[in-house]
Every structure is written in C-alpha cells, then in structure tokens.
Structure 1
C-alpha cells in the first residue's frame, strides 16, 4: 500500500520537501497547497490548493507542514481532526502552549505527529551518536555547538533561538540521551527586527553533561559544528559537510615531573572517519514513513519537539530576566 502524501507550504523548505517526497519509496505525493501560490514552481502536474482544507478534501494519509511557524498550530489541528499523520517543520509551534495542544491532538487521535528536526538525520551526527552509544568516548562530559551564518529574510515570526537554536537543543539532548535541567542565556537584537538574532547559552543536562551553544544570524561565515567531549577524547561533527573527526586523548607518558602532575589530557591521534552520506532530508522522510507503517519509531516526536521548545523559551526567559532558569 502506498501512503498518499500532501505538502502545505511551498517556500524555501517546501520546495526541498517536494523534491524529496517524490523519491521516497512507498509514498506518493498527490497534492500540494500554499495560500501564496507556488513561487518556486514545484507543483508540476499536481493539484495546487490554497488551504489545508483543499488537501484534506483531496484525500491524503500524511502531510508535511512547511508553513510559517505561527501557522503550525492551526494547520496541524485541522489535519489531526481529519485523521491525517503530520510532520511539521521545526519548531513545533510558536509557543509551548500551542505545541502542547498539537501533542495532545495527535496523541489522542492515535496519529503520528513528527517534527522536522533535520539535524538528527545528518549522517555525521547519526554516526557520532552510534559511536557514543558504543562507548568510544567513555563518559560524555560536555557538548558544545556553534551555528552561525547570514540573515535569512524568510524568517520573520520567530527569533534565532526558536529557528536555529532549536536544532542544537534537540541534537544535544538526543546525543546525550538526557533532558536539560537548567540553562542560562544572553541574547541580542541587532538587525532592527522584533526578535533576537544572536544568543549565547550554557546549560546542564539531567545526566550531568554540561553544554554551551553559540547561535547567530549575523555572521558572514557559515559554521555548523558540534563537539562532544568525553573521557577518551572528542568527536567534532561538521554538519555542513557531514564530516566527522575523532581526536583521541594522548596516551604518551611524560617523564617531566612538573607536567605529569597535571591531571589533564594531551593531544592524541586525529582521525577523519569515512562515513556514508545520504541526504538528511530523505532520511527524515523515511523515518516519518516508517513511523506511520509501525516499522520503527526514530522520528522526532511532537512530545520531543515540545521539550525542545520549552528549553528554547527558557533561553529567552533567562536572557530577559538575567537569571538561570530551571526546567
């Protein structure tokens, strides 16, 4: 049986979803929708509707929702009421209250509700997590992320914390397999818009792992880097190139007494790992498909998306109040 899929939101992300949805085995993209039309010409010979109602009436089993964040709740609730599985782009919603309503709607209807936290499906991070689970770092001590680049004109309804920062919150919690316990953050708004465009944040997970995140929209240098430091060394993932590097702790003993008294580590061998690099967006869509089929459950659930949004709002609250926030 082929899953009949629809897409609502044909903007920058929507055009990529449309391309990938046409290639996912076991699914068939049957209709698309956008109130603003089809700016990138992705519909082709598919029916193009101007609302979610059009998709519902056309007849779909699952929908990818790539509309602006402020519309996620309205569109998602309509689809849940119609019995349609949904993957909504991240963040899950514009507020935790709206996100909680989405979680409840999909759980009570027994439907798959997923959130498009695509970084989880980056091959470098998937391989990193597998190796951490296999014990290659020993105990994980710290996770540090750096995510910066130019200003995206496409984003107007949320700031950099909810748009980009949610990537790092989600992947950090997922890599460590632990929720956030407390956070502290500073934000800045330098671009003349309502929302913040820079954030630096630190945190502590329930497992004891400490974290730090630097995220901004105001850098001419695009960086997407995650560093996981453990007892045995550090993994560095570059999610732009999907490269994964391991730097081992040095194990060469020293006879210099003044140095050997320091209980730290030294630089060991550096290895760039050869890994397969499937497109993250396609891997994400395959996980959504398999969740609908009941084959596996490694999609990002709406409940997980809501947890991520709660942490993002804690970042914003910490910056506003000047205090650390406990979750």
Structure 2
C-alpha cells in the first residue's frame, strides 16, 4: 500500500492518554531483523503498526498491506507514538536523532550506535527531550536468562564468581558495517552486566580476521566486573556449530543457560562426601544434584516489545535503556582496543 494517510494536525495528535489506549507504531528497516519486528508489532496488544519505511521496499513481504514508504521523513507523517529502528548500525545515530527531534519514542536495534560518540549523542538527546529510548539487546529477554536472573536475585547461586559465554556460528550475510564484537559480542556484554547487576571495569581480548573482511570475525575476551566477578567470552562467525551458551558459576553451583533452546540447568555443589578415592581426586568439588528447570518460554522478541510498549505507556517495564546501551558500546570499543594493544583496557562505564 503506497497511498499516504492524511496527517493529523499537531493540535490533534493522539498520544498515550488521549486515545483509546492504543499506540501508533512505525518501523524503519525491513531487512532480516525488521521482518521479525514487523511480525511482532503487527500482533502486539495495544499497538497499531501503521506504516513502515525502507528505501529498498519490502523484500520479505512483511508490510501486510500497511502504508509503505521509502524514507523516515515520509514515515513521520503518520503521527507515530513510537518507532522501531532496524536499519544498519551506521544509520542508528542519524535516524535516532531525527526521531528525537520529532518527539517520537524509539526502540533501536543493538548496538545503540557504531561508536561511543554517536551512542553518547543518542542517549543524551532522548534524555534531554524526555523521551523513552531503548536498545534491542534481545538476549535479556531470553527465558533461560530471565529465570537465571530471578534465581540469582533470590540467592540460589550465592555469590557469583564467573560468567562465561560462548556465541559462535556461521557468518551472517546481513552484516557488513561492524565486526563480530559490535554485532554479536554486545549481546554477551549486555547480558553479563544485566544478569549480575554489575558493570564492567576492565577487559582484554584477542581478535582474528579470517574471512577476508575489514572487521574482526573472532574474539576471545576476559573481563572484570565491579565486584570482582571474572568474565570470559568466546565469539566468532567461523564455526559450522551454532552455539549460544552462558555459564554462571557461584558459591552454590552453576547455572547453564542454553539460549537457543531457552533451557536452564542448575548443577549444584554436593553436600555428600565422595568416598571413592579415585573419583574424589578427579572431581575436586563434590558433585550435587543436576536440575533442568521447566520454565515458560515466551518469544524473547515479543517480551522485548511488550516491555517497550509498557514503558511508552508509563507502566512499569524492564527495558534496556540508552545509557545501558552506551555502556555496552564502551565495553565493546575497549574490547577492540585491548586486542589492538595486547593489554587490559579500562571500560570507562563507571562514569555513566
């Protein structure tokens, strides 16, 4: 559908509280992630996806008869309450700034921006204008990590000692403007800080360039959080094995989160002594119960959208704020810098 809907005059713009509890949403970017955002927005309670924009049209056929335009200028003519941004990373800043100037709340795909300076400008302008700005770090909403976070807060793991993540798989053809650190490793940076509720204070890394591109396609990183928790992250685009695993080790045992299957398993430290000498010498820490929890598994992207919708409507919600997104970009850049100089680099997130 290409005919434009007449613009509602400013004095009559329908905002939350002045309408029948429904929000008008827009979407810019209809690529690999945009198509999934379109699917969820099109069926989200309390939200009407009124229009979408992409200069390449609708390659996946997800507009579903809604108004389809080629630019953000045209998209803004549809009186949006909020907009989801799923354009290439280098375009996050100009698109986000234009939305802020128009007074439109925004959910921007991760990472927040391609560098720290751009991320700072976005975070500042949304705060300055009193707008809701969020970043699409979807792993936070994975049921396995959500349940792990709840159980850690309840003290079931005791003090956290280490968070180790593995995120590897084949190269995605959709990524051209950033490397594996800013595309994939930002998931691990954000989920680690969130699940522990601790900031990164330093990080070191090694990277490799094996696929003939200008950006890194492999990283191995070791970090330290503010409370002394040690983290390590193995991320690559070079493996035929697709793996998304987070292991959180604490004084009472370890949580293993398989975020592909949304499974959470707990390996408890044992309280029963091992009397078989050979096994005892090999195992070290005594072995306890292993539990795979039966948990509800809603789609993470839908949970992300539900929380952002609620935030725009002034309800309690758990969103990834732009300041948190900025902190993640800082750690990612420190990771890249650490790989270049071969030493540990301070992340600078504490100043946020």
Fold shared, TM-score > 0.5 on shorter chain: yes
Query: Does the residue aligned with 1:45 lie in a helix, a strand or coil?
Result: coil
Q: CA deviation at 1:254?
A: 4.3
Give the corresponding residue for 1:37. Answer: 57
Q: CA deviation at 1:258?
A: 9.9
Give the corresponding residue for 2:308. Answer: 288
- Matches for 1:74-223 after TM superposition, within 5 Å: 74-223=94-243
Give the corresponding residue for 2:328. Answer: 308
Query: Does the residue aligned with 2:80 lie in a helix, a strand or coil?
Result: coil
Query: Does the residue aligned with 2:33 lie in a helix, a strand or coil?
Result: helix
1:71 aligns with 2:71: no
Q: Deviations over 1:155-205 (max 9, x none)?
A: 000000000000000000001100001111000010000100000000110
1:231 aligns with 2:274: no
Query: Does the residue aligned with 1:60 lie in a helix, a strand or coil?
Result: coil
Q: CA deviation at 1:257?
A: 8.6
Give the corresponding residue for 1:247. Answer: 267
Query: Does the residue aligned with 1:172 lie in a helix, a strand or coil?
Result: helix
Q: CA deviation at 1:265?
A: 1.6
Number of matched residues? Answer: 327
Give the corresponding residue for 1:320. Answer: 340
Q: Take 2:285 and 2:195, find their aligned partners in 1: how far apart are those partners?
A: 23
Q: Take 2:283 and 2:256, find their aligned partners in 1: how far apart are those partners?
A: 23
Q: Of 9, 12, 27, which residue of structure 1 is paired with 2:29? A: 9
Which stretch of structure 1 is more off in the superposition, 287-296 or 150-159?
287-296
Q: Take 2:64 and 2:128, find their aligned partners in 1: how far apart are those partners?
A: 36
Give the corresponding residue for 2:3. Answer: none
Q: Deviations over 1:192-241 (max 9, x none)?
A: 00100000000110011100000000100000000000000000000000
Q: Deviations over 1:259-294 (max 9, x none)?
A: 989995222111110000000000000010111112
Q: Of 242, 266, 274, which residue of structure 1 is paired with 2:286? A: 266
User: What 5-or-longer segments of structure 1 have no aligned partner?
Assistant: none
Q: Take 2:345 and 2:117, find their aligned partners in 1: how far apart are those partners?
A: 18
Q: Deviations over 1:95-115 (max 9, x none)?
A: 010000000110001000000
What RMSD in Å do the two structures reach over aligned CA positions?
A: 1.6
Aligned in 2, Cα 1:37/1:260: closer, same or farther, shift over 3 Å? closer
Q: Which runs of 4+ in 1 moved over 6 A?
A: 256-263
Q: Deviations over 1:73-98 (max 9, x none)?
A: 01000000000000000000000100
Q: TM-score, normalised on structure 1?
A: 0.97
